[in-house]
Chains A and B, each alone.
Chain A
Amino acid sequence: MSSTAADMRRDVPQAAGGAGDDIAVRFSGVAKRFGDVVALNDVSLAIRRGELMTLLGPSGCGKTTLLNLVAGFFSPDAGQVLIGDELVNNVATYKREIGMMFQNYALFPHMTVAANVGYGLKMRRLPRADIERRVGDVLALVKLAGLQERKPRQLSGGQQQRVALARALVINPRVLLLDEPFSALDKNLRASMQVELREIQRTLGVTTIFVTHDQSEALSLSDRIAVMLEGRVRQVGAPAEIYAQPCERFVASFVGDANVLRGRLDRVAGGEAIVALGDARVKVSAVPLTGLASAAAVDLFVRPEQMQVSDAPGPCASVGTVAAQIYQGGHVDLYLDSVDSVSGRLLVRLPGHEAMTRWPIGARVNISFDRDTAVAFPA
């Protein structure tokens, strides 16, 4: 199998030169509207060669539209789409050398697995023997060896998914496009397919654009994430960066769980600001708070695992009452009622299971934060 992977691997420039030609797909100033609906508005985004870039955003934010612009099912109203160095705005889909996996797989129902997977090679007029060999190789790669003669309807959902992936990969596409590929699978299968996709993508080094509205999938799978809202890209960065340093309110609340607490701007010093909440003085980045007057109301975003509870008296950020406990196996989620929370509720995530007995429902607790992990936005 490793030789297979080596055969199929594209020449990925390993040198981290940061040269401009390291970009596999580039959108610059792309806009697209459907009638009155603005699907994309001035999107600029560069996807590096070999990386897995996730387009993440709520339904209707333009993810599929952006993906379809790479596929070429329509062209942008404004701006440029480049694959490699080639401007593809008006290049027909079938000339683009892309691999696309559809949400419903779109396996040709009248063809066998082998014919489905070999379709792209047949269109490229490869000799039969080559097609057969490459189909066998890629089926082995997706762990479907020996199923060549089955029809799609004789396969399970997970197997159909692998066939769809194999069909898109076998042509050595310049870009692999995946539109919510796992949304139809149950939770366990989805998790194992995610791991597998990641492995295959790494081995082959194929540039991949992955669309999802599931933030946890995006966090676990991506090299980088582009968070989208209402036709615009709001933030691009590695998962940890998006999670820890969201650049705006929407990103902070859309990616990962966040508690929102109402505090006051204490002072701004250089790039840092201090927010006052109860007895606590929380250090946050000043960038999102630019222009705010001292003592202005700000919302502090704190991740559930960055909060601590205690019953020892003393200075603390806030106080709350345990309203519910949810046992999650590896950790416990405590829901607290707190007046400082914008929603009235706070979620605290504590490791282990001792928290179940330590913090019974109705217990009054003091809440504090880990140092320097919160972000703040104008209220």
Chain B
Amino acid sequence: MCARDHVGATVKTQPFLRSFVTPAALCALAFLIAMAAVLQYSLRAYIPGSLDPGGLTLANFTALLKPLYAQVFLNTVWICFLTASYTLIVGYPLAYALVHVRNRFAKSAILITVVTPLFLGEVVRTYSWIIVLGNNGFINSILLQLGIIETPFQFMFTRFGVVVALVHVTMPVMVIMLAAALSHIDRDYLEAAESLGAGRIRAFATVTLPLSMPGIIAGVTTSFAWTFSAFATPQLIGGGQVNMISNLVYQLGFASFNFPFAASLCVAGLALTLAVLSLLRLATRPLEKMGPH
């Protein structure tokens, strides 16, 4: 309601936006039709050997309850959770440095490093990780050369490898959101804390961290949603050993041509995403109160 009023007001004050209304509505309509098609497919029976679906049924959804599929769902949530956590842990110091470093070159260097993943396609990025993580890859070669390990360390086809690559993918969003939150924290708050007897670390823990909480929540939530639909990364680095929902959809849809079942996976995946995000929101509500507003 509020949002619509706002949009209405914006359109009124900026008349040129009016010309976007029709294309926007058309796009929305197209997406809606696609969603309806997926939903419709998910309720149809699968006829082996045929691309056309059969009659209405709920069988696809009951089949999802099999441990095999439930496992993939859990795995997906877990990978999203790990990715969001690691991205936060690595991204926070980066965002902090980005906001507080004075040197302009250092600032640009951080920004470029963090943002580059956005410019490379997911596939290119994933292949570079294969070069880094592979058994003959960058890390293993160095460790072998230095004699630290005797056999290559297995990164490829492991959940760890997938998460590492996904963290890289998610980093830009996280850092940008955290940096936005951090840059809104007035320096005076820190000086006030210090004048009251807080050392650097305590000032950070009692002032900066809680005040950046809205950014943390936004970053984690977005990373979560962002990772949920990951496809190329788990496909290439997981190599079938680490499956997320998208990979399962791909296998069922394009290897077995079981479109109805693939569609029901999509619907369930979407529902799960929404469920997890609302849970996340619920869980972070008390934390949000810590923020500035």
**Which residues of A pack against B, CB within 8 Å?**
71, 73, 92-100, 102, 104, 106-110, 119-120, 123-124, 153, 167-168, 171, 177
B207 touches A93 (CB 8 A): no
CB pair B211–A123 under 8 Å, yes or no, is: no
Q: CB of B121 within 8 A of chain A?
A: no
Chain A CB within 8 A of B210 CB: yes
- Residue B199 CB within 8 A of the other chain: yes
- Bound CA–CA A195/B273 (angstroms): 60
Q: How large is the interface on B (under 10, 10 to 19, 20 to 34, 35 or more residues)?
A: 20 to 34
Binding site for A on B (CB under 8 A): 186, 188-189, 191-199, 202-203, 206-207, 210-211, 289-293
* Interchain CB contact under 8 A, A102 and B292: no
CA distance A361 to B202 in the complex (A): 66
A97 to B207, CA, bound (A): 19
A120 touches B196 (CB 8 A): yes
**Contact pick for A98, options B186, B195, B206, B210, CB 8 Å:** B195
CB of A299, distance to nearest CB on chain B (Å): 42
Given known A-B contacts A108-B207, A110-B290, A110-B292, A102 and B197 have beta carbons under 8 A apart: no
Q: Is the contact region of chain B dominated by helix, strand, or loop, or is it mixed?
A: helix
Nearest 6 pairs between A and B by C-beta?
A120-B196, A123-B197, A106-B188, A100-B195, A106-B192, A93-B194
Least CB separation from A93: chain B residue:
B194
A377 vs B289: C-alpha distance in the bound complex, in angstroms? 62
What residues of chain A lie closer than 8 Å to B197, measured between beta carbons?
Answer: 94-95, 97, 120, 123-124, 171
User: A272 to B188, alpha carbons, bound, how many Å?
Assistant: 51
B189 near A171: Cβ-Cβ < 8 Å: no
How far apart sit A177 and B194, CA to CA, in the bound complex (Å)? 14
What are 12 A-B residue pairs whose CB atoms fall within 8 Å in the complex? A73-B194, A92-B194, A92-B199, A95-B197, A98-B195, A100-B192, A102-B192, A108-B193, A108-B211, A120-B196, A123-B196, A171-B197
B188 A109 Cβ-Cβ under 8 A:
no
Query: A119, B188: Cβ atoms under 8 Å?
Result: no
- CB neighbours (8 Å) of A71 from chain B are 191, 195
Q: Are A94 and B198 in contact, with the CB atoms below 8 A?
A: yes
Beyond A124-B197, A168-B196, A171-B197, 16 extra complex contacts between A and B, CB < 8 Å = A73-B191, A92-B194, A92-B199, A94-B198, A94-B203, A99-B195, A100-B191, A100-B195, A102-B191, A104-B188, A106-B186, A106-B191, A109-B293, A110-B292, A119-B206, A177-B195
